[in-house]
Structure 1
Amino acid sequence: MTILVGYTPTPAGDAALTFALDESDRRGEPLHVLNTSRGDKVVDPRYADEEGWAQVRARLEEAGVEFHLDRRIDDRDPAEALLATAEDVAASAIVIGIRRRSPTGKLIFGSEAQTVLLEADCPVLAVKAPRT
């Protein structure tokens, strides 16, 4: 089994990665870290650049966990790509980062996170970034 992390270069993405590292150690399972973009924008702030992706690799190597990094342009939205990857790697759990929202934002919650939470066939752990 594998723990799948939906990573974005944001405080919420860093919180998800931190939690997933702890979960990997606790369960003794490898990590599969997915960072994806549809590629339909000139700049997608959710897609890790080379330097950021190298920092993720260094962090995982330092932690000493077994891992696979998966950064790609995908024509599916990130939630669909995450769910498909979860199936492909037989994920035991999915870890996603969520951000704090305004009262109106809470009503909508976020379509990608909501899709993952409702459609995943395995447990989903939604992690918030620490307050700054």
Structure 2
Amino acid sequence: MTILVAYVPRPEGRAALDKGIEIATRRNERLVVVNAGPGGRQDDPNIVNGYEVERVEERLATLPIEAEFKQFVRGKSTIEEIEEMVSALQVSVLVIGLRKRSPVGKLLLGSMAQEILLNVACPVLAVKATS
């Protein structure tokens, strides 16, 4: 079984990574951390840059479980990439991070989080960043 973490280079992504590591280590399951986006924009805030990729990979290398980082920037949406990974791997839980939103922002819930919650075929754990 695999714990899948949807990672973004922000506090909510780091919170999801922390929780994914905790669960995978406790259950002795494989951990896959994925960062994905359609690409095409140099300033996409969801795509992890080289330095942060190294930081995540170094952290995963110290774990006592099998763990890997995957990044996809190949024209598909983040949701499509995550759905494909959930289908391809035996995912026991998908961990996503949520950020605090304004009252107006709450009306939209974060369309990506909502779409993930409604569409993936596995349990989803949503964690909040500590601040």
TM over 0.5: yes
Deviation at 1:64, TM superposition (A): 2.6
Specify the SS of the correspondent of 1:63.
Answer: coil
The CA RMSD over aligned residues, in Å, is 1.0
Structure 2 residues not aligned, in runs of 5+: none
Give the corresponding residue for 1:116. 116
Q: CA deviation at 1:89?
A: 1.1
Aligned AA (1:88): A
Find the aligned partners of 2:86 and 2:68 in 1 and give their Cα distance: 13
Question: Structure 1 stretch 17-26 or stretch 61-70: which is displaced more?
Answer: 61-70
> Is the Cα contact below 8 Å between 2:60 and 2:68 reproduced in 1?
no
* Aligned counterparts of 1:37 and 1:43: Cα–Cα separation in 2: 12
Distance 1:3 1:74 in 2: 23
Query: Which residue does 2:47 correspond to in 1?
Result: 47
More deviation, 12-21/88-97: 88-97
- CA offset digits 1:44-91 (Å, max 9, x no partner): 111111110000011112233211211121322111211111111121
Percentage of identical aligned residues: 39
Bigger mean CA deviation after superposition, 36-45 or 121-130: 36-45
> 1:69 — aligned with what?
69
Would the aligned equivalents of 2:94 and 2:124 in 1 still touch at CA under 8 Å? yes
Using the TM superposition, give the Cα deviation of residue 18 of structure 1 relative to its aligned residue in structure 2, in angstroms: 0.0
Distance between the aligned counterparts of 2:86 and 2:74, measured in 1? 15
Secondary structure of 2:62's aligned partner = helix
Residues 10-19 or 35-44, more deviating:
35-44
Q: Is the 8 A contact 1:3 1:31 kept in 2?
A: yes
Point out 4+ residue stretches in structure 1 off by more than 3 angstroms: none
Give me the whole-angstrom Cα distance separating, in 2, the residues matched to 1:111 and 1:74.
Answer: 21
Counterpart contact for 1:38–1:73, Cα < 8 Å: yes
Structure 1 match to 2:126:
126
User: How many angstroms apart in 2 are the aligned matches of 1:17 and 1:104?
Assistant: 27
Q: Which structure 2 residues correspond to residues 1-132 of structure 1 after superposition, within 5 A?
A: 1-131=1-131
